[in-house]
Structure 1
Amino acid sequence: MPDTPTPDAQSGKKAKLYRMVMPDHLCPYGLKSKDLLERQGYEVEDHHLETRQQTDAFMAAHDVETTPQTFIDDRRIGGYEDLRVFFRLEPPPEEQSDTSYQPVIAIFAVAALLALGLSWHQYGDMLTLRAFEWFISLSMSILAIQKLQDVESFSTMFLNYDLLARRWVPYGRIYPFLEATAGVLMTAGALVWLSAPVAFFIGLVGAVSIVKAVWIEKRELKCACVGGGSNVPLGFVSFTESMMMLFMGLWMPLKACLM
């Protein structure tokens, strides 16, 4: 384990950084470490490991398996993530959670901004009913893109909780295409007779599946809503996604009848 003195115990603002700078490889974490040290006010003594032999010799000499490596006051801090812990920019690994809502927050935030922008462009006003509809349909489309990047991985994670996919496995592979189709058509306001039933159906099945898995069976699962590699916990966010689709499946036909 690297030594981790606190920043308050430092005797100076100098650091030694050893990073790979080769003709065919420039270590990105080395650049990030250098940038972080400089932003923290350190004068960086930047040592380039320019060959594989130099890198291997350095790692053997300091009994480490990776580079870059940072030293402050002749004490090894470690790599880029160790530096972030050292500067208290994130908690130690043992205190870090495996789950994160960041992907979902990013998707919903961008979808909301796109919807507001479209509404402003179309109507000269951001706070319109159409903006709310676009927010949901664009969220569906972006979430579908996440799933379509690796359909097999998504479908595998989906099988952990979706009731229909457990009865008919191909549904897990079809689902992202259904969500994308409904999202795109609802964004365009086209073929409501097709998009609304699809959104209502997948939203209803999803909502029931999540309620059963999370609140009835009390299972702790990862949500496949942002793809198969997701660390988003299954629960409120996933349920909200399903309810948005369910709402749009009901609202779009009703709106068409009222117009």
Structure 2
Amino acid sequence: MTHTYTVTGMTCNNCKASVEKALEALEDITSVTVNLEQSEATISMSKHLTTQQLQEALPNKYQITEKPKTQNVFASSNLIEEEQSDLKQLFPLFLIFGYITVAAILLNYNPWNGSSFMLDFMGLFYIVFSFFKLLDLKGFPESFKMYDPLAKVFPAYGWIYPFLELALGVLFLMRIQIPLALIITVVILGITTIGVTKTLLDKKAIQCACLGTALKLPMTKATFIENTIMLIMAVWMLIKIYS
């Protein structure tokens, strides 16, 4: 069962992440989607929880009230609109991914060097993605630990991660300690991909922190594909180096 609630008291992405985290911690909650602009929370639950139970899970600064149900005559139409909305939200991710790919190709097309292309791609990927994370360094750790297993256990990892990406980007672009950078890439993206996979399998509607919190991106298969491409490149390069 899914219900929509009005949540007051939220003023920033940190508030949004705090509300999502508090509600998702409840045993019978299966997914939580918070819309900061509309001050709404859409909550799916396996067992009905009262508004009072939800309120008790939230910090005192937030107030939650259930919105009245309205009959949805155009359910299928709304589903199509929701899918289109997700694609629209993901457009910045596709655009950035395209720019990185084209830039890496232009740097290596004459003469073509596949290995150099992959190193430049990974370097640009890390530099660009760390930039967006650093735009809201306070908000990123809260969103990141919603799905990254290591960030959940060690919250400080969420603060370090953008700088780790920046360092890896420099190593790849400058061709410094490439084997070490590849191994770190396999480890950190492998951990994140496990968290992304679990989130997708649990069908939780949460915000993806791949571009920080500056751009509101939903967690979708695109996030899984993005991480998988980087992992394949890193593993391929390691095989070439040590074979």
TM-score, L = length of structure 1:
0.56
Structure 1 residue 129: deviation in Å? 4.1
Moved more, 221-230 or 132-141: 132-141
Q: Distance in 1 between matches of 2:220 and 2:233?
A: 20
Give the equivalent residue in structure 1 for 2:169: 183
Q: Equivalent residues in 2 for 1:91-102 (5 A)?
A: 97=85, 100-102=89-91
Q: Which runs of 5+ in 1 are unaligned?
A: 1-93
- State how far apart, in whole Å, the 2-side matches of 1:193 and 1:133 are: 11
Cα deviation for residue 225 of structure 1 reads 0.4
Which of 189, 209, 214 is the matching residue for 1:224? 209
Matches of 2:122 and 2:169, distance apart in 1: 8
The number of equivalent residue pairs is 161
Number of the residue aligned with 2:180: 194
> Hey, what does 2:223 align to over in structure 1?
238
Work out whether residues 192 and 252 of structure 1, in 8 Å CA contact, stay in contact via their aligned partners in 2.
no
Q: State whether residues 222 and 234 of structure 1, in contact with CA within 8 Å, keep that contact through their aligned partners in structure 2.
A: yes
Indicate the residue corresponding to 2:111 in structure 1: 124
Q: Could you tell me how far apart the structure 1 residues matched to 2:230 and 2:118 are?
A: 13
Residue identity opposite 1:210 in structure 2: V
Query: 2:102 maps to what in 1?
Result: 113
Give the match for residue 159 of structure 1: 145
Q: Which runs of 5+ in 2 are unaligned?
A: 1-80
Deviations 1:166-191 (A, max 9, x none): 11100111111112222221233320
> Equivalents in 1 of 2:119, 2:176: separation in Å?
13
Cα displacement (A) at 1:240: 2.2
Distance 2:125 2:145 in 1: 22
Q: Secondary structure at the match of 1:101?
A: helix
The one of 186, 193, 212 equivalent to 2:198 is 212
| 1:15 matched residue in structure 2 | none
Q: Percent identity?
A: 30
140 and 236 in structure 1: CA distance in 2 versus 1, 3 angstrom threshold: farther
Distance 1:189 1:162 in 2: 28
Larger relative contact order (C-alpha < 8 A, sep ≥ 6)? Answer: 2
The structure-2 alpha-carbon separation of the partners of 1:188 and 1:244, relative to structure 1 and needing over 3 Å to count, comes to farther
Q: Which stretches of structure 1, 4 residues or longer, exceed 6 Å deviation after superposition?
A: none
Q: Name the CA distance, whole Å, in 1 between partners of 2:230 and 2:191.
A: 11
After superposition, give the CA deviation of every residue in 1:115-174 in whole Å (9 maximum; x if it has no partner). Answer: 111113xx434x734324422331222111111222111111112211111111001111
Paired with 1:218 and 1:139, the residues of 2 have a C-alpha distance of 27
What is the root-mean-square deviation of aligned Cα atoms in Å? Answer: 2.3
Which of 96, 103, 108 lines up with 2:92 in the alignment? 103
**Contact persistence 1:137–1:187 (CA under 8 A):** yes
The answer (yes or no) to whether the contact 2:135–2:214 under 8 Å persists in 1 is no
Separation of aligned partners in 2, 1:159 and 1:196 = 23
- Flag the structure with larger Rg: 1
TM-score, L = length of structure 2: 0.59
**How many angstroms does 1:208 deviate by?**
0.2
1:203 Cα deviation after fit: 0.7
